[in-house]
Amino acid sequence: MTDRFTLPDLPWAADALEPHISANTLGFHHGKHHAAYVKNLNGLIDGTDLKELSLEEIMRKTSGDDARKGVFNNAAQIWNHTFYWRSMKPGGGGAPTGAIASKIDEAFGGYDAFKSAFHKAAATLFGSGWAWLCDAGGKLEIVQTKDADSPICHGKKPLITIDVWEHAYYLDYQNRRPDYATTWLDSLVNWEYAQENLERADVTV
Ligand code: MN
């Protein structure tokens, strides 16, 4: 079998986000969890017509299809993780500037109100999932998705995301998901990536 998908490299060194997210966390999160989704999907689509499609096409084709739930979950988790790594950078965080800042002001009435709402979405999502800032038809909104689900399957364009599955933070923050979300907003979020996505017609990874 020839692998259709490969594990993308992290966009920075594995220790580059310390002390906020440790190399130990990323070793498991990228090297084990993300890698497992890639391995699983390659096995599930081998010998099927899905192997000819892009990751986004596989996600949209299998979204909501109970018979292909495993394919969807692994494909979407590959996409979501690649997007999550790019949503962070060393020295990131704080309030954005430029067009993305204006769009946030327009939608939420200011950065502080956005930050409070995004933090709440990340902290309160029950169980495993993701919190996103999305462009929904020209207006920004905060979206929560459960498990592997992704806004690209619901007509919304993601700009950034935070992974709130326990495996994303438990080694560094244990049960303190709100502290992880605060640190993510203050020290990690990559607003340049959000700006690039805002300008794209369609976001792919
Ligand atoms: Mn994860």
For 71-90, letters b (16+ CB in 10 Å) and e give bbbbbbbbbbbbbbbbbbbe
- Looking at the structure, do residues 141 and 118 belong to the same domain, yes or no? yes
Say whether pLDDT at 1 is over 90.
Answer: no
Q: Which of 36, 60, 86 delimits the end of a domain?
A: 86
Mean pLDDT over each residue of the chain, to the nearest integer:
97
How far, in Å, from the CA of 67 to the mean position of ligand 1? 24
Q: What per-residue confidence (pLDDT) applies to 2?
A: 84
- Looking at the structure, do residues 82 and 103 belong to the same domain, yes or no? no
Say whether pLDDT at 88 is over 80.
Answer: yes
Domains in the chain, number: 2
How far, in Å, from the CA of 32 to the mean position of ligand 1? 10
Mean pLDDT along residues 82-94:
98
CB-based contact 40:76 (threshold 8 Å): no
How far, in Å, from the CA of 185 to the mean position of ligand 1? 17
How far, in Å, from the CA of 196 to the mean position of ligand 1? 23
What pTM was computed for the model? 0.97
- Looking at the structure, do residues 168 and 121 belong to the same domain, yes or no? yes
- Looking at the structure, do residues 125 and 163 belong to the same domain, yes or no? yes
- Looking at the structure, do residues 103 and 63 belong to the same domain, yes or no? no
- Looking at the structure, do residues 124 and 57 belong to the same domain, yes or no? no
93 within domain boundaries: no
- Give 39-52 pLDDT, tens digit per residue: 999 999 999 999 99
- Looking at the structure, do residues 119 and 193 belong to the same domain, yes or no? yes
Domain range for residue 79? Answer: 23-86
How far, in Å, from the CA of 98 to the mean position of ligand 1? 30
- Give 49-78 pLDDT, tens digit per residue: 999 999 999 999 999 999 999 999 999 999
How far, in Å, from the CA of 25 to the mean position of ligand 1? 10
- Looking at the structure, do residues 170 and 119 belong to the same domain, yes or no? yes
- Looking at the structure, do residues 191 and 104 belong to the same domain, yes or no? yes
- Looking at the structure, do residues 136 and 74 belong to the same domain, yes or no? no
- Looking at the structure, do residues 195 and 102 belong to the same domain, yes or no? yes
- Give 107-158 pLDDT, tens digit per residue: 999 999 999 999 999 999 999 999 999 999 999 999 999 999 999 999 999 9
